[in-house]
Amino acid sequence: MRGRRATINDVGQAAGVSPATVSRVLNGSAPVDPALAERVLEAVRALGYRPNAAAQGLARGEWGTLGVLVPDLGNPYFPDVLKAISAAVQASGRRVMVMESDERPERERELAEDLMRCCDGVLLCSPRMDRSDVVDLAARRHPMVLVNRIVQGLDVPAVSVDFFGAMTLVCGHLTKLGHRRVAYLSGPPSAWANTERIRAFEAARAFGLDTAIIPCGATSQLGYDALPKALGTGATAVVTYNDLVAYGAFTRLQEMGVEVPGEVSLIGFDDLAREHLAGFQVTTVSVSRRSLGTVAAQLLVDLLAGRHDSEPRFLPVELQIRETCAQARV
C-alpha cells in the first residue's frame, strides 16, 4: 500500500507554483525569487519529495551514473581499485554502479551492454572478453574506458599497469640471481594482463632464460593444483599470475617438502600478500591500485566532458623483494 510517490507537480501545487519553478529551485538552473524558493523547499520537505531518477534521466538525456565492470569482487585487487574509482567519480557529482562477471568472459559482454543502457559511461576493469567483443562494444560509441587492457587499433581511452615491464623486471631479477630455467603459472587465458606477462616472459629467452608456461588461473586453489607441473619442468624459480596463485603454490611446495627459497624461488604479482595473505612474505610486483582507479575514473569523466585522450596510460610498477627468492643453486 505504498501510496504513489509525490511528483514535481504535487510539489508545485502544494507550493502554488509551476513544476518548472520547482525544477529550477531544485537544480539551481535559473534564478528564482527567494520567497518562492522557500515555499518550494518547504513543500518538498513536507511531501518527502524525491525526483524520479528515470524521468530525470530521460529528460536530461543522462543518468548521472557511471558503471564499472569487474571480473571478481572476491579478488582483493579490485576493491582497492573500486574505492579509488568511487571517490573520483563521486567528486564529479555522479554515482557509481558496480557489476561483477564472476570471471566468466561470456557474461561480460552482456553485462557491459546492460551497463551502457543505464549509465553515462562504462569502465571495463581487466575485461576477459574477446577482442572482438571489446571492439563491438566500442562500436556502440558509448563512452567507455578500458582498465588493464589495451586493444590495438581501438580508439578508446585506457589505463593499464605496465605488465610487460613488470614481467621483464621479474625475469631480470631472477636472471641476476642465477636462475636459468623458470616456469610461469599463467593466469586466465583471456586476460590481457596474462598475455602481456607471457609476451615479456618469452622475450626473456633472448637473455638466456629457459622458459616454461603452465596453464593455471587466478586463484590460490588453481595455483596449488598446477604447481607440480611447474616443478616437473625442472625450473628453479616459479613466477605466478598473482600473489593468490603464488600462495597456493607455496602451500603445495611446503606440503611437498620443497624449501622456499632454498630449492625453489617464487615470485608473484599485484602485491596482495601483505594485507590479504597474512604472513606470506612473497617477492612480488606492486602497483598503486588507487592510482589505477583514480586515473581510470578521470579518463572517463574527461571523456564525458568531451576530452578524449586516446593515448593509453601506463602505470609504473615496482619490484618488492621479500623472502621467497634466492640465488639459484648451481
Binder to a second copy among 16, 33, 74, 321 (CB under 8 A)? 74
Closer to a second copy by Cβ: residue 117 or 176: 117
Residue 21 contacts DNA per CB under 7 A: yes
Residue 79 contacts a second copy per CB under 8 A: yes
Report whether 292 contacts 159 (CB < 8 A): yes
Closer to DNA by Cβ: residue 49 or 224: 49
Binder to DNA among 8, 88, 159, 253 (CB under 7 A)? 8
Q: Which stretch binds DNA (CB under 7 A): 29-37, 103-111, 215-223, 311-319?
A: 29-37
Residue 45 contacts a second copy per CB under 8 A: no
Residue 278 contacts a second copy per CB under 8 A: yes
- Sign for the CA dihedral angle at 194, 199, 204, 205 comes to positive
Residue 92 to residue 64: CA distance in whole angstroms? 10
Residue 39 to residue 18: CA distance in whole angstroms? 12
Q: Which stretch binds DNA (CB under 7 A): 53-61, 119-127, 131-139, 157-165?
A: 53-61
Site map 33..52 versus DNA, x via CB under 7 A: x--x------------xxxx
Residue 99 contacts a second copy per CB under 8 A: yes
H helix runs in the chain, sequence order:
8-15, 19-27, 34-47, 53-60, 77-91, 105-118, 131-139, 163-176, 192-203, 220-232, 243-255, 273-276, 289-304
Q: Identity (one letter) of the amino acid at 22?
A: V
How near is the Cβ of 114 to a second copy at its closest, in Å? Answer: 6
